[in-house]
């Protein structure tokens, strides 16, 4: 049987934690969220334009795919 891995004492920081000076770089999601908070109104305007454009595109594709019934 393999022995269980040794654990650091409860008071010692884990490897890679900010306490030992080797903090991992921020993730893209965290950077994007920070940027959105910093540029609040501009981000909301861009999100709104994207949502409107996507909705318009979906309506256009649905309109192109509608059935052509004889009159």
Question: Per-residue confidence of the chain (71 residues) as pLDDT tens digits?
Answer: 555 555 555 555 455 455 566 777 889 889 988 888 888 888 889 999 999 999 999 999 999 998 877 77
Closest alpha carbon to 35 in 46, 21, 23: 46
- Percent helix, strand and coil across the chain, each rounded to 5? 55, 0, 45
> CB–CB of 16/24 below 8 Å?
yes
> CB–CB of 12/19 below 8 Å?
no
Q: What is the pTM of this model?
A: 0.48
Identify the pLDDT of residue 40.
Answer: 83
């Amino acid at each position: 049987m393999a022995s269980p891995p040794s654990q650091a004492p409860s008071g010692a920081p884990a490897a890679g934690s900010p306490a030992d000076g080797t903090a991992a770089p921020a993730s893209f999601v965290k950077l994007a969220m920070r940027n959105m908070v910093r540029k609040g109104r501009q981000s909301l305007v861009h999100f709104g334009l994207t949502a409107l454009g996507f909705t318009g595109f979906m309506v256009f594709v649905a309109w192109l795919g509608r059935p052509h019934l004889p009159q």
